[in-house]
């Protein structure tokens, strides 16, 4: 996050102008230590993940951006959240709910459309109905009668589960068409979104001074190869996080789940999106037999 997003000159300026950033740790991140026995030791984190929660000044959730994104793609996503926030000024609570739900419906539709387009570009058939669904006549009638909104509208919407499950089915169809190899091909279509700017590259170079010194006589430095490899991985992470995981979060907003608050959504994001629930301290890493005393755990 720090290297890709906050070190990016354009994005960091945009964030400072428009957002108040607040950091909170969800759970300790596992750190693996590899001792080569000759004095060399490698320490690195595993299964670490983070999400950006976009909230208004009352703490109401507007969007959740899961995982790592390239700076260009990330700015596009949060600029949409900023426009959503501006639409919510001086509106009633009821209208606010409708505006937020509509925003996420449109976003979900756009993801399906872009994902389908990418698959067609790659010659992969993925035919899903992308026509936007309209609110039923019953819903529109209930909205017009203020006294009935609180009683009738939740009941009417509860019987529309099948329509919403159809939206989920469309995403599932796209996901089934997208293998690991296809994700890599999609990433190549959007490689520009993952390009690191001078600010981010400087951070990586600062973190790898030995490789820079050792490579002065080489045509391409190890750091340059490292950056290029990282950009490829970042492009894939960006597209998968947006198409697969952000789509699921948009659906949660459409279903009114975000109204249950930050705590509920945060727990669900880490449990269902990142697969690292807070109630599993070992994240299933201790479920395989190692042949070591106490499974190699040092308490």
What CA–CA distance (Å, rounded) separates 212 from 223?
7
For the segment 164-193, what is each residue's pLDDT rounded down to a tens digit?
556 667 888 999 999 999 999 999 999 999
For 156, the 3-state DSSP assignment is: helix
pLDDT tens-digit readout, 234-282: 999 999 999 999 999 999 999 999 999 999 999 999 999 999 888 876 6
pLDDT in tens, 55-95: 999 999 999 999 999 999 999 999 999 999 999 999 999 99
d(CA 295, CA 88): 53
- By residue count, the chain amounts to 299
Reported as a single tens digit per residue, the pLDDT across 186-242 is 999 999 999 999 999 999 988 887 655 554 555 557 888 899 999 999 999 999 999
What is the three-class DSSP state of 216?
Answer: coil
> Other C-beta atoms within 10 Å of 116: how many?
20
Q: What is the mean pLDDT of the chain?
A: 84
- List the beta strands (DSSP E) in the chain: 31-35, 41-45, 51-55, 61-66
């Amino acid at each position: 996050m720090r290297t890709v997003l906050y070190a990016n000159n354009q994005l960091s300026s945009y964030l400072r102008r428009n957002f108040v950033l607040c950091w909170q740790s969800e759970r300790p991140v596992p750190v693996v230590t590899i001792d080569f026995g000759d004095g060399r030791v490698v320490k690195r984190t595993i299964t670490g993940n983070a999400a950006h929660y976009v909230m208004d000044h009352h703490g109401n959730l507007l969007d959740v951006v899961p995982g790592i994104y390239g700076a260009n793609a990330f700015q596009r996503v949060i600029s949409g959240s900023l426009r959503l926030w501006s639409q919510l000024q001086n509106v009633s609570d009821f209208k606010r709910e409708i505006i937020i739900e509509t925003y996420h419906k449109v976003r979900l539709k756009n993801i399906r459309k872009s994902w389908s387009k990418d698959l067609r570009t790659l010659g992969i058939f993925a035919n899903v109905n992308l026509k936007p669904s309209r609110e039923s006549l019953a819903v529109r009638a209930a909205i017009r009668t203020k006294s009935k909104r609180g009683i009738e509208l939740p009941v009417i919407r509860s019987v529309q589960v099948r329509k919403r499950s159809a939206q989920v089915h469309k995403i599932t169809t796209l996901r089934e068409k997208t293998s690991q190899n296809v994700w890599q091909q999609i990433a190549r279509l959007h490689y520009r979104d993952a390009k690191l700017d001078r600010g981010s590259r400087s951070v990586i170079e600062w973190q790898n001074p030995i490789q820079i010194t050792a490579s002065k006589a080489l045509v391409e430095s190890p750091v340059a190869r490292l950056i290029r490899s990282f950009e490829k991985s970042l492009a894939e992470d960006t597209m998968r996080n947006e198409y697969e995981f952000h789509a699921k979060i948009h659906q949660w907003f459409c279903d009114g789940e975000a109204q249950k608050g930050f705590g509920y959504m945060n727990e669900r994001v880490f449990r269902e999106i990142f697969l690292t629930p807070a109630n599993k301290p070992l994240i299933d890493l201790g479920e395989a037999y190692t042949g070591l005393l106490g499974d190699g755990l040092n308490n």
